Structure 1
Amino acid sequence: MTFGERLKLLREENSLTQSELAKKLNISRQSVSNYENGSRFPNDVQLLVKISALFCVSLDYLIGLSNIRLSLPNQDMEKNPQFMENNESPYSTKRNVLEELFLEIDNMPLEDIKKVIKFIKVINGKL
């Protein structure tokens, strides 16, 4: 799936028109249209970051390097000592583990994914 296809999918999933999205991104509706139809690609990295944040997806997903939508919040761990331990944050470790988990799940059949979800709910006492 291309960047344009993903942008359109995300826009439609969020019930936004091209004009509404353009307004949120401070760009023209024509730019949104050009991105979606694949005739142009954003040349501003900050715009890609803004789109990623708006739709809560990773940049890798947005530009087609991954099928995993996961986007974890960016936090400045250096300024938050409660998360620091041995110069590595548990947040980073958790992110790495989650990315690995999602990579594994991404290749599984739907029925197996449902079993994994049920197993997680059992572990968390929700079933």
Structure 2
Amino acid sequence: MKFAERLKLLREEKNLRQIDLAKILNISRQSVSNYENGVRFPNDELLLRRIAEFFDVSIDYLLGVTNIRNYYHRNIENIEAKENGIDYKIDKKTALNNLFYEVDDLPSDKIEKITAIIKTIKTLIK
């Protein structure tokens, strides 16, 4: 999915008209229309950031690089792991980003199966 499609989808999910989004972003309704129709692309990095922040998605998601809307919403905690006698320390945000990267290109039915497996493992280790 390209930027134009993502922008329209996000706007419609919030039940906003183009004019509403234009006012929120401080741009013209025509600009929103041009972005959604793929006629133009925002040439302002700050505008892309404002769009991403307003819809609570990553810029990567907006640009169609990933299907994960937002990589991280939780507090960062350190994770410690041991593998072959070697201690690894990684912050939770990095660990989650690594996990998301690994599953991002999988179809949603496979991601659901992985999620079910993780839930099962969590109940076993509590």
Question: TM exceeds 0.5?
Answer: yes
What pairs up with 1:23-34 in 2 under 5 angstroms? 23-34=23-34
**Alpha-carbon shift at residue 8 of structure 1 (Å):** 0.6
What's 2:18 paired with?
18
Amino acid at match of 1:116: I
TM-score (norm 2): 0.73
Q: Supply the RMSD in Å over aligned alpha carbons.
A: 2.7
In the other structure, the counterpart of 1:101 is 99
Q: Percent identity?
A: 53
In structure 2, list runs of 5 or more residues that go unmatched. 79-88
Deviation at 1:21, TM superposition (A): 0.7
Output aligned runs, 1:51-70, within 5 Å.
Answer: 51-70=51-70
Amino acid at match of 1:7: L
Higher mean displacement: 2-11 or 61-70: 61-70
Conserved 8 A contact 2:11-2:17: yes
Q: Which has the higher strand share?
A: 2
Shift of 1:71: 4.5
The gaps in structure 1 that reach 5 residues or longer are: 78-82, 85-89
Deviations 1:68-126 (A, max 9, x none): 211436x9x9xxxxx89xxxxx9x8322221221122223343332232223434169x
Work out whether residues 56 and 71 of structure 1, in 8 Å CA contact, stay in contact via their aligned partners in 2: no
Count of matched residue pairs:
112
The residue type equivalent to 1:96 in the other structure is: T
Structure 2 CA distance for partners of 1:116 and 1:36, relative to 1, 3 Å: same
Q: Which amino acid aligns with 1:114?
A: E
Deviation at 1:65, TM superposition (A): 2.4
